[in-house]
Amino acid sequence: MAENNSEDSSSPPKKRKPRLIAFVGDFLISHSYAVSVFCCFAGSVALLLLPILAKNTYLSENALMPGSAKPTFSSQEAVTAKELIKELIDWKIIRDENRMQTYEIIANHMAETGADVYYHSFYSRKKQFHPMSFFMGAPMEDNNNHSSTHAVNSVGIIRAPHGDGKEAIVLVSPYNSDKMELSDALSVGLAYSIFCLLGRAAWLAKDIVWLAADSKFGEYASVAEWLKQYHDPVFIGKKLNFHPVDGDIQFVRGISEDFKRAGTMAAAIVFKVLETSQGTGTDNVNIYAESSNGQMPNLDLINIVHYLAVHRHGLHVEVGKLSSLLNSLWLKMVGKFLEGVSNIVGSLNPKWRFALPVLDYVEGTAVLASSVYHQALGVPTGPHGAFRDYQIDAITLEISPRVSLNSEMARSSFLVRVGRLIEGIVRSVNNLLEKFHQSFFLYFLTSPSKFVSVGVYMIPFGLLVMPLPILAAALYSGKASEALVQKSDPFNTQKSYKASQENPFPSVGSWKWIHAAKLVFAVHLWATIISVLPSLIYQASCTNTTTNFLIWIALSIPSFFFFYWISLSSYFHSNDAGWAILKALTIGAASIGLGLMSIINFATAQIGAIFLVPMCLMVHPLRQIYRGAGLGELLHMVSNVVLGLIGFPPASFILLKGWSQGFEEVNMGDLWVWVENLWSWNSATYLYLLLVHLPCWVLCLIVLLHP
């Protein structure tokens, strides 16, 4: 570079052919408007095509061999399960002070199978804000923050006859000890029958851990507490004061509170039985897989369940879907349009036919939307989420029977069907030689047997985000070179043929962005402060959600004006066209934020890009648009205002909620509850909303209102 410059400085500039990469860069930047429009359009189309681009799932790991062995679960196991179920249901009726607790009943049954049994007691924890928790992996230790009531999990471990005790499979059956329902009893009973069977199984190579989780404080909390104790043992002085002496709890038959462990966990399966029948012809298995911050278990785990349930045991498998989309008219129109295009293309060459039938397309989109939404929320959809924090693949199976389970016959046939399914899953995972690693970790589901992998779903995001840096560069370079040319330079008498490079003593020249950068920095600083406020308000404990929300707003706005005032004076000093540089910096901040978020939680970034990218690209000072009076200007203005409105997180929340549930039910408190849900689950989405989205919105607003 130095040599090039030295040649140029002595001789007048020749027309040199620029290097290819520089040429492409220049071309893109000089046509940034067209590139932006094209990329946004292509991104939206690619987004709508995702359900069509989904592939069928397949088992990647050969060792799994699901369904290769004949299931041995028989009605005999169902009978043992029914005994426990009856005992648990009867327990509810007995009103006796000295009766055994539920966890004792379960533990006694566990011990009868010859397993290692112990109790794990824990306290419920208050909500806490750990902003960087997604970064640390496992939840942080905090001992002073719990209430006085406790719950007790019963845990049984079967030591594998062929294993070396290094690996384990975990079965979790949550139940609520406070109000024992038939469904809870059935879950525990089902787990017990499988546990009995596995206790006798000769083929077991991994230890089996059965966690009967007392979900008095929530299903997730009990599993999370147990996992924490399993992985981060707490030694001296921190043992929970839970001794037979100081309470009404008496341990029988030498079952202790000493924490026992099996090996590292290969996989975990949580199963819950729902009492209500679906009314469909078959039993229904609902799979929940999303855990914190959009992490998913390995796709092979879902594949096993789907394969066994559908192809071996004739069950119906479902994953969550947004049912409000099923009747959406515009989605059907899009589906029909795509089908029409596909038919036309197919008439040219039948191999080119790509589209799905309209109904499949709409259904796929509804499932995809739910998958994206739940991943983006970053809140686990069930107790399996706790496992993912320790890199253990886990799913929750919610099983609803086809008929009501009040009769004994129905119960036992149901137990046999489901028991065989779970036996098959355990057997398959038992074959696993390493951790799950063959199949995908990053994917969206469009049906239980179809998925969109990371390589495909990154395309629309990439297309949406690509215009951001290009437009930023265009805005910045345009303004920067212009400013440098304008600058009359005392030394450069040879006419500024290379003013942008050769400018010798520019006092601020290329550092012109520093004022705008200061404003951007101040707004982000403000956002950081705002993001800490909700947990502080929660600690100060005002129970009314609407009041809390209003306090939050009331604290945010004055603090914003404070930062604005500090940083703005110099920004306005800079010059009239300062807004373009501010816009360039805003776009730069948005693209860094989106890029970062796409790695932490892709789904959040995807949804965020849909809101943020058009707003950032379109934004233009209203006063300048106002000077023109044509239809184009009017359209530009309206779109700016609309995008600015939608881009404001509370506004978009209210619109979405109103659209899905009706506007009369929306109030401010809901927003607070939603936000509280996000931060108390340590979702990175919360940080994204407040540290990326909100500052960018504010900066866009400043650009809009630029004088």
Partner 1 sequence: MYLLAKFWEEIEVRNVSTLDSGDVAALIYLFNPLTIAACAGSSTSPIENMMILLTVYGACAGVPPLAAFGWVIATHLSIYSMMLVIPIIILLGYGLDTPPKKLFKTVDKQKKSDAQESSMSKPIKNPLCEGSTQQDQLVLSFSWRPIIHFMLWAGFWSLYVLGLCSVSLKGHGGLREMFNKTYGFILNVEDLSPNLGVFWYFFAEVFDFFRDFFLLVFHANILFMISPLVIRLNHRPCFLAFVYIAISSILKSYPSVGDSALYLGMMGLFFHELAGMRFSLFLLSGYIGVSLLSPVMHNLWIWRGTGNANFYFATALAYACFQILLVVESVGTMLNHDRMFKQQYKI
Identify residues 147-206 at the interface with partner 1 (CB under 8 A): none
Out of 27, 33, 511, 626, name the contact with partner 1 by CB under 8 A: 511
The structure tokens 């930062």 sit at 563
Asked whether 43 and 352 are in contact (CB, 8 A), the reply is no
Count of residues making up the chain: 707
Rounded distance between C-alpha atoms, residue 694 and residue 706, angstroms:
18
For residue 91 the two structure tokens come to: 């327990």
Instruction: Select 9 or 661, whichever has its Cβ closest to partner 1.
Output: 9
Identify residues 450-479 at the interface with partner 1 (CB under 8 A): 473, 476
Burial 347-379 (b: 16+ CB within 10 A, else e): eeeeeeeebbebebbbbbbbbbbbbbebbbbbb
Out of 205, 600, 618, 654, name the contact with partner 1 by CB under 8 A: 600
Out of 98, 493, 541, 543, name the contact with partner 1 by CB under 8 A: 493
Out of 491, 558, 631, 707, name the contact with partner 1 by CB under 8 A: 491
With a CB cutoff of 8 Å and minimum separation 6, the contacts of 13 are: 497, 498
Out of 500, 559, 667, 677, name the contact with partner 1 by CB under 8 A: 500
Strand order in the sheet with 284-288: 116-125, 146-158, 207-214, 167-175, 264-273, 393-400, 284-288, 316-319
Out of 251, 259, 441, 560, name the contact with partner 1 by CB under 8 A: 441
Beta strand 146-158 pairing with 167-175: unpaired
135 part of the interface to partner 1, by CB under 8 A:
yes
27 part of the interface to partner 1, by CB under 8 A:
no
Least Å distance, CB 264 to partner 1, is 12
For residue 490, the surrounding DSSP H or E stretch is: none
Out of 148, 241, 507, 543, name the contact with partner 1 by CB under 8 A: 507
The span of 106-114, 315-323, 503-511, 611-619 binding partner 1 (CB under 8 A) equals 503-511
Alpha-carbon separation of residue 504 from 5, 14, 373, 507, 513 (angstroms): 13, 21, 53, 9, 19
Out of 595, 618, 657, 674, name the contact with partner 1 by CB under 8 A: 595
For residue 289 the two structure tokens come to: 């897989």
391 part of the interface to partner 1, by CB under 8 A:
yes
User: Binding mask 7-26 vs partner 1 (x if CB under 8 A, - otherwise)?
Assistant: --x-----------------
The span of 120-128, 337-345, 596-604, 616-624 binding partner 1 (CB under 8 A) equals 596-604
Least Å distance, CB 173 to partner 1, is 27
The span of 83-91, 154-162, 493-501, 631-639 binding partner 1 (CB under 8 A) equals 493-501
For residue 356, the surrounding DSSP H or E stretch is: none
517 part of the interface to partner 1, by CB under 8 A:
yes
Least Å distance, CB 340 to partner 1, is 39
Out of 13, 18, 137, 165, name the contact with partner 1 by CB under 8 A: 137
Give the closest residue to 210 by CA, choosing from 173, 182, 180.
173
318 part of the interface to partner 1, by CB under 8 A:
no
Out of 382, 578, 588, 614, name the contact with partner 1 by CB under 8 A: 588
Instruction: Select 126 or 166, whichever has its Cβ closest to partner 1.
Output: 166
Least Å distance, CB 479 to partner 1, is 11
The span of 318-326, 357-365, 584-592, 627-635 binding partner 1 (CB under 8 A) equals 584-592
Least Å distance, CB 212 to partner 1, is 28
The span of 66-74, 133-141, 181-189, 311-319 binding partner 1 (CB under 8 A) equals 133-141
Alpha-carbon separation of residue 132 from 230, 236, 605 (angstroms): 22, 28, 18
333 part of the interface to partner 1, by CB under 8 A:
no
Residue 415: how many other CB atoms lie within 10 Å: 27
Instruction: Select 643 or 689, whichever has its Cβ closest to partner 1.
Output: 689
Instruction: Select 108 or 510, whichever has its Cβ closest to partner 1.
Output: 510
DSSP 141: P
585 part of the interface to partner 1, by CB under 8 A:
yes
With a CB cutoff of 8 Å and minimum separation 6, the contacts of 189 are: 81, 82, 84, 85, 88, 415
Strand order in the sheet with 55-56: 55-56, 450-453, 443-447
The span of 129-137, 200-208, 231-239, 673-681 binding partner 1 (CB under 8 A) equals 129-137
Rounded distance between C-alpha atoms, residue 463 and residue 465, angstroms:
6
H runs (alpha helix) in 164-298: 182-200, 219-231
For residue 322 the two structure tokens come to: 């947004």
Rounded to 10 deg, the angle between the 545-574 and 578-600 helix axes is 140
The span of 147-155, 201-209, 362-370, 592-600 binding partner 1 (CB under 8 A) equals 592-600
Identify residues 614-633 at the interface with partner 1 (CB under 8 A): none
Rounded distance between C-alpha atoms, residue 698 and residue 524, angstroms:
10
For residue 414 the two structure tokens come to: 């149901």
The span of 35-43, 313-321, 512-520, 658-666 binding partner 1 (CB under 8 A) equals 512-520
Instruction: Select 210 or 602, whichever has its Cβ closest to partner 1.
Output: 602
Burial 281-295 (b: 16+ CB within 10 A, else e): ebbbbbbbbbbbbbb
Point out which residues bind partner 1 (CB under 8 A). 1-2, 5-6, 9, 135-137, 295, 391, 441-442, 473, 476, 491-494, 500-511, 513-514, 517, 569-570, 573, 584-585, 588, 592, 595-596, 599-600
